[in-house]
Structure 1
Amino acid sequence: MLDALIFDMDGTMIDSMPSHQESWAVFAQRQGLDVDIADLMRRTTGRTGLECMRDLFGRPDMDAAEAMAHVHEKEAVYREIFAPIFAEVAGFKAFFQQAHARGLKLGVGTAGDRRNQAFAYANLQMPIAPLTTVGGDEGLPGKPDPAIFLEAARRMGVEPARCIVFEDAPLGIEAARRAGMRAVGIASSHAPEELRGPHVLAVVPDYHALITSQFLETHHVATS
């Protein structure tokens, strides 16, 4: 009963969350905002840039164009910070290639915008591209709303129940549940207990753990 895997990007494919946290601190300082960054991260990780800026400034009706200008500034800071230390979540590319070799459809569902997606893919240098990427700048609500994951499944032509989502954040784990999808928690940026749930098949520190435990062999009958 498994046809596709859907991966979140930040903290799930790439080990970027510390750099995102640092970039939020830099951006808030530039704006003269006194912000508890750890609390902001807990509230917003998985939400779209538009949603994050409206939350940060306490202006739910902030004009979209104004919000997106702030998003582009903040994300440029993030890319500048992360580029020199860019790293995948350990074992991601190897796991992704194994899944592809088994005939699984592979998609990405992220709150990240197109610029961050391009940055991630360019630095990952993946030999196999995802079948689809659904991003946070496409007008869909962010997580825990299931819209991003459901759109990824729709584009791949796969029923939600036949997808497994890989996520590092509680809001993403909840979005998978609401989408009717099973999930795997990648505990790169949150404690394992924050990522558990009845629909969660495993919580692991990285993809080496999934490879070692033969996760794909257990949950999928190869078709290739």
Structure 2
Amino acid sequence: MSEPVIDLSGIGAVVFDTDGTVTDTARGHAAAWKHVFDGFLRGRSAPFDVREDYLRYVHGRPRLDGVREFLASRGLTAPEGEPGDGPDAPTVHGLGRAKELLFMEQVERHGVAAFPAAVALLHELRNRGARTGGVSASLHGRRVVTAAGVLHLFDTLVDGGDAALMNLPGKPDPALPLEAARRLGVPPVRTAVVESSPAGVEAGRKGGFALVIALAPVSEGAGLAVRDLGELVVRGRVLPLSP
């Protein structure tokens, strides 16, 4: 089997989905969703599966889209409610609010770790002249990356707050990684994306990016699939864009 390679002779930037790829937050997100959904599902459906349900319906999507997608997968609906709904409201906004409060409580209490392999890869890319961007569906994406101590490793970061201000649709629409590439000044055909969700991989394909790299267990539709970012080999240096 050939080595999984990022060849910088044809790639000038790499955009990472930060949640679960750079920051070790996927488990915290999944646990928070399970707590919230299991309360809603009691007497209606089987409990939320932190592996399959999280990865398939929630991970990588904006919070409210994740609520809608997961409930639809169980043949359930909830009233949309209002943005001001409290965490006890049995609405899409209320469920999303409950999850966000629980997750951020975990962040405040326990902090956030960054994956060493991801940090090493970011350093390697930047040392070889590549520009780096981060995207996160979370409204608190910038806060989480800052808490993990890795904000300085990104030339730009597009999170859920930016998406809301700019009215950007969430994944699997490619709007977020495309906005990151635009800010980096590198066209998608010279940009790679690193994703850990099926929605993110689909967004990378739809966006026409040069290379879509997926972290296991996600692999379908990706140009490269690895179990750990430490498996990736970076070759060459970034060549300047033609005038």
Normalised by the length of structure 2, the TM-score is: 0.74
Per the TM alignment, residue 40 of structure 1 is displaced from its structure 2 partner at its CA by: 3.4
Worse-matched range after superposition: 131-140 or 57-66: 57-66
CA contact (8 A) 1:150 1:160 kept: yes
**Which residue does the alignment assign to 1:203?**
225
Does residue 146 of structure 2 align to residue 121 of structure 1? yes
Per the TM alignment, residue 88 of structure 1 is displaced from its structure 2 partner at its CA by: 2.1
- Give the letter aligned to residue 74 of structure 1: K
Alpha carbons of 1:169 and 1:8: their partners in 2 closer, same or farther (altered >3 Å)? same
**Which residue does the alignment assign to 2:20?**
11
Alpha carbons of 1:183 and 1:32: their partners in 2 closer, same or farther (altered >3 Å)? closer
- Listed as ranges, the matches of 1:178-189 within 5 Å are 178-181=206-209, 182-187=211-216
**Which residue does the alignment assign to 1:142?**
170
Secondary structure of the structure 2 residue equivalent to 1:208: helix
- Give the letter aligned to residue 136 of structure 1: G
Does residue 185 of structure 2 align to residue 157 of structure 1? yes
Per the TM alignment, residue 178 of structure 1 is displaced from its structure 2 partner at its CA by: 0.5
- Which structure carries more helix by proportion? 1
- Give the letter aligned to residue 67 of structure 2: M
**Which residue does the alignment assign to 2:4?**
none
Secondary structure of the structure 2 residue equivalent to 1:107: strand
List alignment gaps of at least 5 residues for structure 2: 1-9, 86-91
Per the TM alignment, residue 64 of structure 1 is displaced from its structure 2 partner at its CA by: 5.4
Q: Which of these two proteins has the greater Rg computed from alpha carbons? A: 2
Alpha carbons of 1:221 and 1:157: their partners in 2 closer, same or farther (altered >3 Å)? closer
Secondary structure of the structure 1 residue equivalent to 2:214: strand
Aligned residues: CA RMSD: 2.6
- Give the letter aligned to residue 53 of structure 1: V
**Which residue does the alignment assign to 1:54?**
68
- Give the letter aligned to residue 198 of structure 2: P
**Which residue does the alignment assign to 2:122?**
96
List alignment gaps of at least 5 residues for structure 1: none
Alpha carbons of 1:132 and 1:72: their partners in 2 closer, same or farther (altered >3 Å)? farther
Cα distance between partner residues in 2 of 1:2 and 1:170: 23
- Give the letter aligned to residue 172 of structure 1: G
Cα distance between partner residues in 2 of 1:206 and 1:88: 13
Runs of 4+ in 1 over 3 A off after TM superposition: 29-36, 54-61, 66-70, 79-83, 220-223
Normalised by the length of structure 1, the TM-score is: 0.80
Cα distance between partner residues in 2 of 1:62 and 1:35: 22
Identity of aligned residues (%): 28
CA contact (8 A) 2:141 2:160 kept: no
**Which residue does the alignment assign to 1:167?**
195
CA contact (8 A) 1:110 1:135 kept: yes
**Which residue does the alignment assign to 1:86?**
112
- Give the letter aligned to residue 183 of structure 1: V
Alpha carbons of 1:72 and 1:130: their partners in 2 closer, same or farther (altered >3 Å)? farther
